[in-house]
Chain A
Amino acid sequence: EAGVAQSPRYKIIEKRQSVAFWCNPISGHATLYWYQQILGQGPKLLIQFQNNGVVDDSQLPKDRFSAERLKGVDSTLKIQPAKLEDSAVYLCARVLNSGSFIPGELFFGEGSRLTVL
């Protein structure tokens, strides 16, 4: 199975600016996740998609974060306006094996590292 493509790998912006991250699970997996990983912490779920519908966005700060997955393939995560505390790595993930899905068995992309100055 192919991987998860993310871009950009690195982004530096000033606070109050906006930024967008892109993810493609490549093999067309139905379930897609966005996680936020702050330095020194484990990943925390921001949003889960099933095809192009949202399954769980309870931990997404909706006043500044938004995400979409048009056509159920690639996805975009946007932050507007950014705050200093948004500095983190944003990870996109899909299920590891679509043929034998075990909840929590995930394949991660390499992530997009955001620095907010």
Chain B
Amino acid sequence: GDSVTQMEGPVTLSEEAFLTINCTYTATGYPSLFWYVQYPGEGLQLLLKATKADDKGSNKGFEATYRKETTSFHLEKGSVQVSDSAVYFCALNTNAGKSTFGDGTTLTVKP
């Protein structure tokens, strides 16, 4: 079945550091890929998406590129802020309606 594997956390960075959160997937067919974010005390919200190979999703300074050859969708940001502290979830959907999520990576950014 479909699966998503995220790098284990927690991840702690200083403000303005470079961020990478790794995500790899296994899926039948050609999935759409997503990153969701959950800020403290808030619900899950979509951060960015990519629907086909080589697409780059971007939002709020975050980027992720759909790599079919390595089945990866790593999340990156060049300079993190304290306000980026949250739990980040990688997810896929194979047009079958059901989304499969990773277990989340907790990011803490210190001033």
Contacts and interface: CB of A to CB of B under 8 A. Distances in A.
Contacts of A44: 101
B32 to A, nearest CB: 5
A37 to B, nearest CB: 8
Contact of A104 (B42, B43, B92, B103): B92
A48 B97 contact: yes
Interface residues of A, number: 21
Interface stretch (B11-19, B44-52, B72-80): B44-52
A45 interface: yes
Contact of A91 (B32, B43, B49, B51): B43
Contacts of B101: 42-44
Contacts of B103: 40-42
B25 interface: no
A91 B44 contact: yes
A40 B10 CA distance: 11
A111 interface: yes
B52 to A, nearest CB: 11
B60 interface: no
A96 B46 CA distance: 9
A103 B97 contact: yes
B43 A108 contact: yes
A104 B104 contact: no
Interface string B38-63: 00001111100101000000000000
A41 B99 contact: no
Interface of A: 40-45, 48, 55-56, 91, 96, 102-111
